């Protein structure tokens, strides 16, 4: 379909053309007439078929005509950035685009000035809880990757956002973008929307199964790859690289991403050209400059990067991840070996995707085969419109007998239906409290009506549902979050309101409150508070390995310090207690300035895990501080110091120095050890003197001087004066 056929604003058409969009794809042509008439829409079409553009045009077209705002909700921060950058193309038309993925206890007032706001689902939920007044100006709500309703941790939030919007403003147009799922009709009925389905893909993607030396594809063709000594994976990767294609390999564990990348590096290195090697060197150099601390994982990554390969998993820090993704997008890195964390929604240039593992380990269920939906998401990273003319997804069969089965199940088979996960008690108590605390409902009928509007109710039988709701409500009433005004009516207490706006699980709030009460009558240490924080369900604790015997010894030694009751050794809960203690110990090491690399080895985690734990612990400490303030608990100063120490990863004595921009814990320690113990002590010190300190250098030294409001003029004189002063002092 030609762009002009839709009577869009000429400005929109020009922007599209400037960005090489000259016509609409068939599923877009089917969806756009409805989208532009402000109808609700579920788009359940294949990966890479341009779902986002339909949503963008619905937003831009409507806002240009009517004014108002739009909210674009995505599951991951990385995806938020991609969508934000794409939407910025429309700023030329006078629309302002904003992004918000951060602090959940914040109404983010700056957002009021944007017309289009991209955010994560948790942020959207938190904005609804804060009752920000621009929410009722939202004309279009986009939910990207809506099939994640099926995900136990993210799903409940997604469907609650939609239900709240439907109630607050029934006229809000809802556009839901989904992978192809079996029960898309059910989803569209729930959303009262037009359903657009198709199996069309702009870039042909053929899928196949590899066994021994042959790939059998679903287009009937076969590909023969020679070689006997190499493994199947090595053959497939080499074949791609020789043909100048980029490859994305999916494996099932983090450890495998590293070991497989290592193995593949030998093959890929042999096929690199001079210019590739030069680009890779530059990539590594710029990466090194961004690193706060060099870890063994960074070194492993450098080793692979030098040879044109990278690994990608949830343990990577955001810097590591960005370098890998950008290097691959710029076609400098030829191959990424990843866990499925890379699969959802991203646009990258992989001509071939190889899926090595179809099985995954879960601590509760053991090994299980991945869902077809997940396979399709992985396969769908191959052959993306702006990057490649065709794509291939190849699954490796380990035995001949599996060939047929894999082909039928994953390539020819249907994706699974999705199911609501709002029925879990933790999701119900959290979202019920938020509905009551934000005065969305105030009586039992209101609660039932709200739940009735969710996908959960749409899929469940009413009787079991009421039992679950009553149980969650009882929890909230019995623990002081909600109080009854009369038999059917209730309201949230101050404690309930604060818990809801802090965006934490009510059970976490309860654990914190009890721990803080206890802290008033006991000697507390950093470990006491950290352990209490790590005992809340919002902090995902580290797995306890059989070799972690030190944790039990530590529990015994610090028995008197715990603010959370220690379960009996014979009890199942005891292992959880130790896991929480292990997690608290990681943060304790971090604030004692233990090197990141040592923490990585001791706890068997990646930098990304450390930063995730720091982020969650900081967030729960913030909640603890709010409760301490609210109830006048005496431990407020300890919590304040601890929060800063967790944020910066340092001892209390460095807190003054780390408040300078560009000075992290490592540089602050170097300055401190040279006698510059506070910001005041840095005044009057010449740039040259500071630049001599390890890890500081001239750039950072100048930045310090700028922050102190000192110009680096007359340096020579100052330097000699400084050394004289210092000598006199030493005498």
Ligand X SMILES: Nc1ncnc2c1ncn2[C@@H]1O[C@H](COP(=O)(O)OP(=O)(O)OP(=O)(O)O)[C@@H](O)[C@H]1O
Residues 120, 73: Cα–Cα separation, whole Å? 5
41's torsion region: left (phi>0), alpha (psi -120 to 50) or beta? beta
What's the min distance (Å) between Cβ of 12 and ligand X?
A: 13
DSSP state of 443: B
Q: Does 21 bind ligand X (CB under 6 A)?
A: yes
Q: Does 606 bind Mg ion (CB under 5 A)?
A: no
Residues 151, 155: Cα–Cα separation, whole Å? 5
- Are 84 and 209 in contact, with CB atoms under 8 Å apart? no
- Residue with the closest Cβ to Mg ion? 345
Residues pairing with 178 in the sheet: 44
Angle, helices 274-290 vs 318-329, to 10°: value is 160
Choose among ligand X, Mg ion, none what residue 612 binds, the Cβ cut-off being 5 to 8 Å by kind.
none
Choose among ligand X, Mg ion, none what residue 72 binds, the Cβ cut-off being 5 to 8 Å by kind.
none
Burial label, 163 (beta-carbon count in 10 A; 0-12, 13-18, 19+): buried
The whole-angstrom distance between residue 101's C-alpha and the CA centroid of its chain comes to 9
Choose among Mg ion, ligand X, none what residue 312 binds, the Cβ cut-off being 5 to 8 Å by kind.
none
- Are 181 and 16 in contact, with CB atoms under 8 Å apart? no
What's the min distance (Å) between Cβ of 384 and ligand X?
A: 6
Q: Does 49 bind ligand X (CB under 6 A)?
A: yes
Which CB sits closer to ligand X, 387 or 490? Answer: 387
- Show contacts with Mg ion in window 342-361 (CB under 5 A): 345
Instruction: Choose which of 384, 429, 431, 705 interacts with ligand X (CB under 6 A).
Output: 384
Which CB sits closer to Mg ion, 345 or 686? Answer: 345
What's the min distance (Å) between Cβ of 126 and ligand X?
A: 24
Determine the interface stretch with ligand X among 46-54, 102-110, 401-409, 600-608 (rule: CB under 6 A). 46-54
Q: Does 345 bind ligand X (CB under 6 A)?
A: yes
Determine the interface stretch with Mg ion among 66-74, 98-106, 338-346, 653-661 (rule: CB under 5 A). 338-346
Q: What is the DSSP string of 245-275?
A: --EEEE-SSHHHHHHHHHHHHHHHHHT--HH
Size of the site for ligand X (CB under 6 A): 18
Q: Does 386 bind ligand X (CB under 6 A)?
A: yes
Which CB sits closer to ligand X, 43 or 685? Answer: 43
Beta strands in 423-542, from DSSP E residues, in sequence order: 482-484, 490-492
- Show contacts with ligand X in window 152-191 (CB under 6 A): 179
φ/ψ of residue 355, rounded to 5: -105, 110
Which CB sits closer to ligand X, 31 or 701? Answer: 31
What's the min distance (Å) between Cβ of 146 and Mg ion?
A: 11
**Contacts (Cβ under 8 Å, ≥6 apart) of 486:** none
Instruction: Choose which of 15, 41, 50, 334 interacts with ligand X (CB under 6 A).
Output: 50
Pairing of strands 482-484, 490-492: antiparallel
Q: Does 415 bind ligand X (CB under 6 A)?
A: no
Which CB sits closer to Mg ion, 74 or 241? Answer: 74
Determine the interface stretch with ligand X among 47-55, 362-370, 591-599, 717-725 (rule: CB under 6 A). 47-55
Residues 345, 366: Cα–Cα separation, whole Å? 28
Residues 676, 700: Cα–Cα separation, whole Å? 15
Instruction: Choose which of 75, 308, 380, 686 interacts with ligand X (CB under 6 A).
Output: 380
Specify the 3-state DSSP secondary structure of 381.
coil
What string marks each residue from 486 to 515 as x (binds ligand X by CB under 6 A) or -?
Answer: ------------------------------
Instruction: Choose which of 6, 41, 44, 52 interacts with ligand X (CB under 6 A).
Output: 52
Determine the interface stretch with Mg ion among 105-113, 337-345, 416-424, 455-463 (rule: CB under 5 A). 337-345
- Closest C-alpha among 464, 477, 453 to residue 423: 464
Q: What angle do CA 373, 379, 382 make, to 5 degrees?
A: 145
Which CB sits closer to Mg ion, 380 or 686? Answer: 380
Angle, helices 596-603 vs 607-630, to 10°: value is 100
Q: Does 349 bind ligand X (CB under 6 A)?
A: no
Rg of the chain (C-alpha set): 28
- Are 80 and 118 in contact, with CB atoms under 8 Å apart? yes
Which CB sits closer to Mg ion, 345 or 349? Answer: 345
**Residue 28: Cβ within 10 Å count:** 25
Q: Which two tokens stand for residue 159?
A: 């469907």
Residues 312, 325: Cα–Cα separation, whole Å? 9
Choose among Mg ion, ligand X, none what residue 347 binds, the Cβ cut-off being 5 to 8 Å by kind.
ligand X
Which CB sits closer to Mg ion, 377 or 499? Answer: 377
Q: Which two tokens stand for residue 508?
A: 């976490």
Determine the interface stretch with ligand X among 50-58, 434-442, 608-616, 633-641 (rule: CB under 6 A). 50-58
- Residue with the closest Cβ to ligand X? 50
Residues 433, 388: Cα–Cα separation, whole Å? 48
Determine the interface stretch with ligand X among 18-26, 131-139, 272-280, 445-453 (rule: CB under 6 A). 18-26
Q: Does 25 bind ligand X (CB under 6 A)?
A: yes
Q: Does 75 bind Mg ion (CB under 5 A)?
A: no
H/E run at residue 71: strand 69-74
Q: Does 53 bind ligand X (CB under 6 A)?
A: yes
Q: Does 371 bind ligand X (CB under 6 A)?
A: no
Q: Which residues lie near ligand X (CB under 6 A)?
A: 21, 24-25, 28, 47-53, 179, 345, 347, 380, 384-386
Q: Which residues lie near Mg ion (CB under 5 A)?
A: 345
């Amino acid at each position: 379909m030609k762009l002009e056929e839709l009577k869009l604003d000429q400005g929109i058409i020009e922007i599209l053309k400037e960005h090489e969009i000259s016509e609409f794809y068939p599923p877009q042509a089917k969806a756009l007439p409805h989208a532009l008439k402000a109808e609700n829409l579920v788009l359940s079409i294949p990966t890479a078929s341009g779902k986002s553009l339909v949503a963008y045009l619905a937003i831009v077209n409507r806002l240009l005509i009517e004014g108002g705002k739009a909210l674009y909700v995505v599951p991951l921060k990385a995806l938020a950035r991609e969508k934000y950058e794409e939407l910025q193309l429309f700023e030329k038309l006078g629309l302002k685009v904003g992004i918000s993925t951060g602090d959940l206890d914040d109404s983010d007032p700056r957002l009021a000035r944007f017309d289009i706001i991209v955010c994560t689902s948790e942020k959207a939920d938190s904005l609804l809880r804060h009752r920000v007044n621009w929410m009722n100006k939202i004309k279009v709500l986009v939910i990207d990757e809506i099939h994640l309703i099926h995900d136990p941790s993210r799903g409940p939030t997604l469907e609650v956002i939609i239900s709240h919007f439907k109630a607050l403003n029934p006229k809000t147009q809802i556009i839901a973008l989904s992978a192809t799922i079996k029960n898309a009709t059910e989803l569209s009925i729930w959303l009262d929307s037009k359903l657009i389905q198709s199996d069309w893909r702009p870039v042909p993607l053929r899928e196949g199964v590899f066994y021994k030396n042959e790939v059998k594809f679903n287009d009937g063709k076969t590909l023969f790859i020679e070689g006997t000594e190499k493994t199947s994976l090595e053959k497939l990767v080499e074949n791609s690289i020789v043909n100048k294609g980029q490859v994305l390999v999916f494996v099932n564990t983090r450890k495998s991403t590293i070991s497989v990348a290592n193995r593949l590096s030998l093959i890929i290195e042999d096929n690199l050209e001079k210019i590739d090697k030069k680009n890779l060197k530059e990539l590594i150099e710029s990466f090194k400059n961004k690193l706060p601390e060099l870890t063994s994982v960074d070194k492993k990554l450098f080793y692979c990067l030098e040879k044109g390969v990278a690994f990608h998993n949830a343990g990577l820090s955001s810097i590591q991840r960005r370098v890998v993704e950008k290097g691959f997008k710029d076609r400098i890195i030829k191959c990424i070996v990843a866990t499925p964390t890379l699969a959802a929604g991203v646009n990258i240039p992989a001509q071939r995707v190889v899926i090595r593992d179809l099985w995954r380990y879960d601590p509760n269920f053991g090994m299980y085969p991945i869902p077809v939906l997940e396979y399709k998401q992985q396969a769908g990273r191959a052959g993306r419109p702006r990057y490649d003319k065709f794509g291939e997804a190849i699954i490796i069969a380990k035995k001949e007998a599996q060939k047929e089965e894999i082909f039928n199940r994953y390539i020819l088979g249907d994706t699974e239906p999705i199911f609501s996960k709002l029925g879990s008690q933790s999701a119900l108590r959290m979202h019920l409290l938020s509905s009551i605390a934000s005065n969305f409902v105030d009586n039992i009928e209101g609660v039932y009506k709200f739940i009735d509007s969710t996908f959960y109710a749409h899929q469940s039988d009413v009787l079991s549902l009421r039992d679950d709701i009553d149980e969650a409500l009882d929890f909230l009433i019995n623990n002081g979050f909600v109080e009854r005004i009369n038999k059917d009516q209730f309201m949230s207490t101050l404690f309930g309101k604060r818990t809801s706006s802090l965006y934490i699980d009510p059970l976490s709030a309860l654990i914190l409150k009890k721990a803080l009460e206890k802290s008033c009558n006991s000697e507390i240490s950093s470990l006491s508070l950290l352990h209490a924080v790590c005992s809340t369900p919002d902090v995902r604790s580290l797995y306890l390995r059989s070799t972690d015997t030190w944790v039990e010894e530590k529990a015994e030694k610090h028995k008197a310090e715990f603010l959370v009751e220690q379960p009996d050794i014979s009890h199942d809960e005891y292992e959880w207690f130790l896991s929480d203690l292990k997690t608290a110990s990681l943060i304790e090491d971090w604030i004692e300035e233990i090197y990141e690399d040592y923490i990585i080895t001791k706890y068997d985690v990646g930098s990304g895990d450390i930063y995730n734990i720091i982020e969650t612990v900081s967030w729960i400490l913030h909640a603890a501080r709010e409760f301490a303030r609210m109830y006048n608990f005496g431990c407020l100063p300890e919590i304040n110091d601890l929060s800063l120490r967790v944020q910066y990863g340092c001892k209390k004595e460095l807190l003054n120095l780390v408040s300078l921009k560009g000075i992290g814990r490592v540089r602050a320690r170097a300055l401190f050890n040279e006698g510059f113990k506070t910001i005041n002590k840095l005044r009057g010190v010449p740039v040259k003197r500071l630049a001599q300190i390890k890890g500081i250098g001239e750039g950072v030294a100048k930045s310090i001087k700028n922050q102190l409001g000192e110009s680096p003029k007359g340096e020579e004189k100052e330097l000699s004066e400084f050394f004289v002063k210092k000598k006199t002092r030493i005498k």
